Amino acid sequence: MPLMELVTEPVIHSGFEARRFAEELRLLLRYLDVSDADMESGQMRIEPNISISKTGKLGIKVEVKNLNSFRSVEDSINFEIQRQTEVLESGGKIHQHNRGWNQEKSETFEQRSKEEAHDYRYFPEPDLPPLVADAPAENGEILINTKEIEKQLPELPWQKRERLVKLYGLEKDQVELLVQDMDFCDFFEKTVSEMKMFDQDHKSEPEAGEALIVFNVLASDVRGTMKAVAAQMFPTELIDFSNPRITPVNLAHLIEFFHQKKISSRVLKDVLLEMFETGKDPEEIISAKNLLQMTDDSMIEALVLKVIKDNPAPSADFRSGKEQALQFLIGKIMAETKGRANPQTIQELIRKNI
């Protein structure tokens, strides 16, 4: 199993900065398909070196060994900054040594002292010669050509953040959710792309509103349905965006029904659940169950009048200014129409008739 060690320049000034760097490094390793960099399983470890100095010169470093979580990286560095500051301000000296991290006590503890470089007993490895990038070998061939390697790189996290904001107009926190989960982001972009196929104008670029609807449906409805379906119907199967049980094409079709106000948000959720359970196309489900949103306001108004008559107490409460009674009445009408009536239309008709 190959081992890679990465050493930074002393340019990090807080536990928070170190944590963010480590999190971004893990993300980069995953994007490059180098490693899952799972700290909990030992695929990645952080060993920060902390030194405090009042002058412009570097202080004596103390290394905290074998940290296995980003939280411990941040907390241990912050603890060491405080500990070393107190030692120096009281007139003491820092000696070079290694420390461990006690998560329960939230403090570091001394492990061993290493004063000089020779104490570490470094040995050269004869089978691993130095590798010099962009330098020609004896035959003139450049063995490590960084320009050629750069051409083969995938889109990197910071490049993806910039592109998603520019292309889809999403907020930074929304973009971060996509960047952190490559499968989620891939499903999102494929769904947005498929929505153009259902757009009569066939725009070359997605509308920001469409992209936001897709993101919200994926982040809320789809994720929630995935968890429910996995727990209730497929407990032995991993269901996530790498194995979603629905396709971007079908989801785009469903969202387009909602975007064009042909179905309500409640129907969207119900159809989505059936899509997960059966794999059916949303149009097939909507047609078979007659779930298209009601467009005849006179029919909805007749139901509104009936619900007002059948529920005199909530109706009276709403007349007296109790807005929460409105939601009760809307819920009754939505139940009568099996989610097919537009909630906004219902609300307008209730206010008109009470």
Model confidence pLDDT, tens digit, residues 165-220: 999 999 999 999 999 999 999 999 999 999 877 665 545 555 668 899 999 999 99
- Judgement on whether residues 330 and 223 belong to the same structural domain of the protein: no
Assess if residue 145 is contained within a domain: no
- Judgement on whether residues 196 and 241 belong to the same structural domain of the protein: yes
Specify the pLDDT at position 235.
81
Which residue is associated with the tokens 């292309």?
167
Assess if residue 206 is contained within a domain: yes
CB 353 within 8 A of CB 304: yes
Specify the pLDDT at position 296.
83
The amino acid present at 352, given as its one-letter code, is K
Specify the pLDDT at position 176.
98
Specify the pLDDT at position 351.
92
Among the candidates 239, 270, 288, a domain finishes at 288
- Judgement on whether residues 270 and 301 belong to the same structural domain of the protein: no
Assess if residue 1 is contained within a domain: no
Specify the pLDDT at position 190.
97
Q: What is the CA radius of gyration of the chain?
A: 30
Mean pLDDT of all residues in 87-104: 95
Beta-ladder partners of 63:
49, 98
Which of the pair, 257 or 140, is modelled with greater confidence?
257
Which residue is associated with the tokens 């060491």?
80
- Separation of alpha carbons 187 and 145, rounded Å: 34
Among the candidates 232, 264, 288, a domain finishes at 288
Specify the pLDDT at position 238.
81
Specify the pLDDT at position 230.
82
- Encoding tokens for residue 283? 């149009």
Model confidence pLDDT, tens digit, residues 21-71: 999 999 999 999 999 999 989 999 999 999 998 777 889 999 999 999 999
Assess if residue 142 is contained within a domain: no
CA distances from 269 to 127, 216, 248, 265, 348 (A): 61, 12, 16, 6, 24
CB 123 within 8 A of CB 129: no
- Judgement on whether residues 167 and 52 belong to the same structural domain of the protein: no
- Separation of alpha carbons 203 and 209, rounded Å: 13
- Separation of alpha carbons 194 and 310, rounded Å: 45
CB 68 within 8 A of CB 42: yes
CB 242 within 8 A of CB 235: no
- Separation of alpha carbons 209 and 67, rounded Å: 43
Specify the pLDDT at position 206.
55
Phi, psi for residue 253 in degrees, rounded to 5:
-65, -45
Mean pLDDT of all residues in 346-350: 92
Identify the H or E element spanning 195. helix 182-195
Model confidence pLDDT, tens digit, residues 264-311: 888 999 999 999 999 999 999 999 998 998 878 898 999 999 999 999
Residue 260 has pLDDT above 90, yes or no: no
Cα angle, residue 298 at apex, residues 292 and 301 outer, rounded to 5°: 95
Which of the pair, 214 or 131, is modelled with greater confidence?
214
- Separation of alpha carbons 290 and 287, rounded Å: 5
Exposed (0-12), middle (13-18) or buried (19+): which is 115, by Cβ within 10 Å? exposed
- Separation of alpha carbons 13 and 8, rounded Å: 12
Model confidence pLDDT, tens digit, residues 100-125: 999 999 999 999 775 555 556 677 78
Q: Which long-range contacts (CB under 8 A, 24 or more apart) does 26-31 make?
A: 27/157, 27/179, 27/180, 28/156, 28/157, 30/182, 31/154, 31/155, 31/156, 31/157, 31/182
139 alpha carbon, distance to own chain's centre: 48
Range of the domain at 346: 297-353
Specify the pLDDT at position 84.
96
Assess if residue 244 is contained within a domain: yes
Among the candidates 98, 122, 146, a domain finishes at 122
Specify the pLDDT at position 201.
53
Assess if residue 19 is contained within a domain: yes
Identify the H or E element spanning 166. helix 157-168
Mean pLDDT of all residues in 317-326: 91
**Which residues lie below 8 Å from residue 346, measured CB to CB, with a gap of 6+?**
300, 304, 330, 333, 334
- Judgement on whether residues 301 and 281 belong to the same structural domain of the protein: no
- Separation of alpha carbons 78 and 48, rounded Å: 11
Assess if residue 233 is contained within a domain: yes
